[in-house]
Amino acid sequence: MTTTAPAAGSTPAPKSLVARFIGIITAPRATFETVAASPKVLGMLLTVSLLTGVFSALPLTTDAGKQAMLEQQVQTMQSMGFQVNDQMYEGMQKGTARLPYTTGIGAVIFIPIVSLVFAGILFAIFNAALGGEASFKQVYSVYIHSGVISVVSAMLTGVVNYFSGRAGSVANLGALLPMLPEKSFLANLLGTVDIFIIWSLIVLAIGLGVLYKRRTQPIAITFFSLYAVIALAIALFKSRGGA
Higher pLDDT, 15 or 186: 15
Banded model confidence at residue 79, pLDDT cuts 50, 70, 90? low
Q: Do the beta carbons of residue 150 and residue 200 sit within 8 Å?
A: yes
Banded model confidence at residue 236, pLDDT cuts 50, 70, 90? confident
At residue 67, what is the residue type?
Q
Higher pLDDT, 36 or 233: 36
- For residue 72, pLDDT over 70 is answered with yes
- Averaged pLDDT for residues 68-86: 79
Name which of 183, 196, 181, 168 is nearest 235 in CA terms.
183
- For residue 17, pLDDT over 70 is answered with yes
pLDDT value of position 178:
63
pLDDT value of position 241:
55
For the four alpha carbons of 142, 223, 239 and 194, in that order, the dihedral sign comes to: positive
For the stretch 110-147, pLDDT in tens is 999 999 999 999 999 999 888 899 999 999 999 999 99
Q: How many CB atoms are located within 10 Å of the residue 88 CB? A: 13
Q: How many CB atoms are located within 10 Å of the residue 130 CB? A: 10
- For residue 14, pLDDT over 90 is answered with no
CB-hemisphere CA count at 13 Å for 19? 10
For the whole model, what pTM was predicted? 0.86
For the stretch 168-219, pLDDT in tens is 888 887 766 665 666 667 777 777 888 999 999 999 999 999 999 999 999 9
pLDDT value of position 181:
63
- Averaged pLDDT for residues 3-19: 69
- For residue 5, pLDDT over 50 is answered with no
